Structures are given as structure tokens and as C-alpha cells.
Amino acid sequence: MVKTVKKTAHKGHDRTERMVAALAHEIKNPLNSMKGASQYLHDAYRNNTEIAEFTGIIIDEINRLERYLNEFLSFSRGTTLRLKMTDLQSFVTGTVMTVKHSYPVEIKITVKKASLPEVEIDAEQMKQVMVNFLSNAKDSLKGNPAPHTEIILDSDDRNAVISVKDNGKGIAPEVLRHIFEPFYTTKESGLGIGLSISRSIVQHHGGNITVESKPGKGTQFNIIIPLKRKGHRAK
């Protein structure tokens, strides 16, 4: 059974949300056409190194634009949850499969409990959180001679925890305290709203995100999801 929890919005916000959604729809259609055409050429001319290289660049840039567009949409419209009881391990395994083809190393999944409880989540939105953390880990691992990424699943009597751990560059303390602020970024590209959106999504589930990081040692993001929501509703 799917249960919907919706954020209360003012009329002005509703109009803005509709305008943003309409604009996003008009942008997504040509992006999808360009991506489909580029993918066809990329596959058809894969033996031509030069064409394959340039079509690959086009596809990567379209994917980047789609990611920015989705982040902006999520940021502008707030959070509406479609909650369903979900098997945690299956959810994580499915999410990993969606990023596996573009990820530089194997993602290890470690389950610390013999039996994990089901959690009530919006799987699509929580997947967005996971993909965001894995994308950050991917960026952090660039240039690492022995890159490693691990997803750790654990639970106690109150919470389930999904941890995304890498041995990448890590985050400096002066940057770490700002990472969840909207539009804050140290990257050359990006809107700087991915982590802000991720925290909002998890908080609307009644949970929280914690982060541990040391420069040169790696980073671990922990998604804490309550097993019982206790009547929590999005605000």
C-alpha cells in the first residue's frame, strides 16, 4: 500500500511550481531527443574512435543537464512523499544497479545484521539521495590508485542506517560545516543543491543525515531512517 504525504504549499508557491514544471517539461523533451539521437550515433559508430569520443561527450553533457534540471525541480517544489514498506537490501541493490555502468569501481554492499527490518520510504526519492552520495564518492575517488566504495546496512531498535563510505579525498573541516547549505559548492560544475535536497528528503521521512570525513582518508554519509514514524508529517 502506498501512502502519500504532501508538503503544505501556499497558492503563490503552487503557481511557481506549475511554471517550473511546465518549463522543465519543455526542456526535457528536446534533451531526450538529443540524447536518443546521440546514443544511436554512438552505438552505430562505436568503431570510429573520433565519432564515438565526441558522441560520448554529448551524452555525458546531456546527462549532466538532466541531473541539474532534476535537482532544480526537486529544490523548487519541496517534498511530496509516496511511502511504501520497502526491503532495505533490495532497495540498495537496485539502486547500485542503476549507477553501476557509469561507476569507476565495484560498489561493495555490507549487511551488518542477519535480518534487516523493512522501512517505510519513498523509494524514488530515497534513490535520489543514494545516487547523489554515490556521485559525490565517484568525484572524490578521481586519481585514487586504489579506489573503494562501500554501502553498509545496519539497524537497531529505532532506526535503519544506510552508510555510503569511500576512501577518496575527504572533505576539509571548513567545507564540511557548509555542505548542506543550498547553492554552496566547491566544484567547478554543479548547482550546489544536491546535498541540501538529500537532507530535506531524509528529514521529511522523519530521519537525518550525518557525515564523517577526514582529508585524505575518505568520507562516510549515514542516512538514518526511523523504523516507526510516530505520526510524522512533512512540513
Q: Residue type at 185?
A: T
**Statement to judge: residues 64 and 124 lie in one domain:** no
> Same domain, yes or no, for 88 and 125?
yes
Asked if residue 92 and residue 43 are part of one domain, the reply reads no
Residues 126 and 207 occupy one common structural domain: yes
Does one domain contain both 166 and 222?
Answer: yes
How would residue 54 be classed by pLDDT, with cut points 50, 70 and 90?
very high
Looking at residue 155, what is its pLDDT?
95
Residue 184 belongs to a domain with what CATH number?
A: 3.30.565.10
| Section 77-102 average pLDDT | 85
Domain count, the chain: 2
Q: Is the pLDDT of residue 78 over 70?
A: no
Q: What is the pLDDT of residue 235?
A: 38
Q: Does 233 fall in a domain?
A: no
What pTM did the predictor assign?
0.69
User: Do 133 and 55 lie in a common domain?
Assistant: no
Please state the rounded mean pLDDT for residues 131-148: 90
Residue 8: how many other CB atoms lie within 10 Å: 9
pLDDT value at position 166? 94
Identify the pLDDT of residue 139.
87
Are residues 215 and 196 part of one domain?
Answer: yes
Is residue 9 assigned to a domain? yes
Would the pLDDT of 80 be above 90? Answer: no
Per-residue confidence (pLDDT) for residue 99, from 0 to 100 = 85
Question: Is residue 231 one of the residues assigned to a domain?
Answer: no
Range of the domain at 216: 83-226
Domain boundary among 77, 103, 133: 77
pLDDT of residue 73: 65
Last residue of a domain, one of 77, 108, 142: 77
213: in domain: yes
221 falls in which pLDDT band (50, 70, 90)?
Answer: very high
**For residue 107, pLDDT beyond 80:** yes
Are 132 and 185 within one domain?
yes
Query: Which domain-ending residue is among 35, 58, 77?
Result: 77
- Does a structural domain hold residue 201? yes
* CA–CA separation, 146 and 221 (whole Å): 20
Distance of alpha carbon 161 from alpha carbon 211, whole angstroms? 12
pLDDT at 17 (0 to 100): 57
Mean pLDDT, rounded, for 153-179? 91
User: Do residues 133 and 201 lie in contact, with contact meaning Cβ atoms separated by under 8 Å?
Assistant: no
Residues 28 and 141 in one domain: no
pLDDT-above-70 percentage for the chain? 77
Quickly list DSSP for the chain: --EEEE----HHHHHHHHHHHHHHHHHHHHHHHHHHHHHHHHHHTTTSHHHHHHHHHHHHHHHHHHHHHHHHHHHHH--EEEEEEE-HHHHHHHHHHHHGGG-SS-EEEEE-SSSPPPEEE-HHHHHHHHHHHHHHHHHHTTT-SS--EEEEEEE-SSEEEEEEEE-SS---HHHHTTTTSTT---SSSS-S-HHHHHHHHHHHTT-EEEEEEETTTEEEEEEEEES--TT----
User: Mean pLDDT over residues 67-86, rounded?
Assistant: 72
Q: Which three cell numbers stand for residue 207?
A: 530521519
The pLDDT mean for the chain works out to 82
5-14, 64-73, 84-93, 95-104: least confidently modelled range: 5-14
Indicate whether 34 pLDDT > 60.
yes
97 in the same domain as 30: no
- Average pLDDT value for residue range 112-124: 90
